[in-house]
Amino acid sequence: MKIEVKDLNKSHPLVLAAHLMSVAYHQYETMIPACEMVLEQFPQLTPEQVICLWVGVNCANNDC
């Protein structure tokens, strides 16, 4: 999925996926199941985009 800042809003798939990643991050102890869960719900995103979501949530929770 090509993402442009001007298109982002509360209902954009990337934003919704980010919220789901926040939940998945706390539900699973490792990156792979969390990313798989988000990719399953948002197949229009690339694996690289989902990994970036995980990294962002990880940093927000661990003083990166």
Answer whether residue 1 is part of any domain.
no
pLDDT at 29: 78
Answer whether residue 33 is part of any domain.
yes
DSSP string over 30-54: SHHHHHHHHHHH-TTS-HHHHHHHH
Q: What is the pLDDT of residues 52-62, one digit of tens each?
A: 999 999 999 88
Q: For residues 1-12, give the mean pLDDT.
A: 92
Answer whether residue 5 is part of any domain.
no
Contacts of 63 (CB under 8 A, 6+ apart): none
Answer whether residue 24 is part of any domain.
yes
pLDDT at 54: 96
Q: What is the reported pTM?
A: 0.89
Answer whether residue 4 is part of any domain.
no
Domain assignment of residue 21, given as a range: 10-62
Instruction: Answer yes or no: are the C-beta atoms of 22 and 53 closer than 8 Å.
Output: no
Instruction: Answer yes or no: are the C-beta atoms of 34 and 56 closer than 8 Å.
Output: no
Tell me how many domains the chain contains: 1
